[in-house]
Amino acid sequence: MNYKQQNKNKITRNQEHRKGSIIDHVIMPKYVDCSVKAENVTISDHNIMIVEAELNNHQPMNKTDKLITKTDYTKMNKLQIQNIKPVDNLSQLASVLKTSKKICTSQKRLVMKYDNEWYNRKTQNIMIRRDKVYRKMRKHPRNEEYKANFDKLKQTNKYVKEAKPRYINHKLISAENDMRKLWGTINNIVGKKKTSETKIEQLKVGSVTY
């Protein structure tokens, strides 16, 4: 990410003391619009730096890449047991552990799209929390607390599975008294374009074409 210094070198010591002393700098991302000014205060020989920045925290959720990492700890444990036996020094042990983790860890990049109204930030957060608890349970299979938490979060599978039917049902009910809106909703759900051409096939009977 590229950064730039905003508002060129404000002098932050009062002129009566150390003239021309510059000790404070404001560094902001290029896309942030900000203003900086120095104000005199009587309780210190420094001026106070005031930064006003406009930040937009409500970014549209179009799509984002999510890097998913999965480690097979059972396989990793077996590899370590096999490879640690002949090791007789600490550096070799560290190398074995590092190699085992690399072999047993796989990654893939998943593009998360937010163009479906039934898959929103709330749904994603529920799934992320469920997956975190599941990974902890896999890593510590004898931990009863992790098991109990995962059993509670199993309901999220049902919630996510029913999210789309729930959304469709709501849209149809809201449009049931307006036939035009109802058909528009149905076409939108099935992915049919608003305008379509209907082609009438020619009918041929003997040598006559109709």
Quote the radius of gyration of the chain (alpha carbons, Å).
Answer: 31
Question: Residue written as tokens 């931990």?
Answer: 143
Model pLDDT, residue 94: 78
Select from 73, 93, 114 the last residue of a domain. 114
Q: Is the pLDDT of residue 183 over 70?
A: yes
- Is 21 in the same domain as 35? yes
- Is 134 in the same domain as 107? no
- Is 97 in the same domain as 32? no
In a domain, 197, yes or no: no
Q: Please tell me the pTM assigned to this model.
A: 0.31
Q: pLDDT band at residue 111, thresholds of 50, 70 and 90? A: low
How far apart are the C-alpha atoms of 18 and 31, rounded to whole Å?
34
The residue range of the domain holding 153 is 116-191
In a domain, 33, yes or no: yes
Where do runs of H (alpha helix) occur along the chain?
Answer: 73-84, 90-103, 121-139, 144-153, 155-161, 163-174, 179-190
Select from 54, 77, 92 the last residue of a domain. 54
- Tell me the per-residue pLDDT of 49-99, one tens digit each, with 9 for 90 and over: 777 776 654 444 445 566 778 888 788 777 767 766 666 677 777 787 788
- Is 28 in the same domain as 82? no
- Is 122 in the same domain as 184? yes
- Is 10 in the same domain as 44? yes
In a domain, 77, yes or no: yes
Q: pLDDT band at residue 191, thresholds of 50, 70 and 90? A: low
Give the count of domains, the chain. Answer: 3
- Tell me the per-residue pLDDT of 122-166, one tens digit each, with 9 for 90 and over: 777 778 888 888 888 888 888 888 888 888 887 777 777 788 788
Report whether 24 contacts 10 (CB < 8 A). Answer: yes
Which is it for the CA torsion 144, 145, 151, 157, positive or negative?
negative
In a domain, 200, yes or no: no
Which among 27, 28, 29 is positioned nearest to 1, based on CA atoms?
29
In a domain, 208, yes or no: no
State the average pLDDT over residues 32-40: 71
Report whether 76 contacts 104 (CB < 8 A). Answer: yes
Neighbouring CB atoms inside 10 A of 154's CB total: 11
- Is 125 in the same domain as 138? yes
Q: How many residues does the chain have?
A: 210
In a domain, 171, yes or no: yes
In a domain, 138, yes or no: yes
Amino acid at 194: K
* Nearest-5° Cα angle at 92, 88 to 94: 120
Model pLDDT, residue 76: 78
- Is 106 in the same domain as 139? no
- Is 42 in the same domain as 66? no
In a domain, 26, yes or no: yes
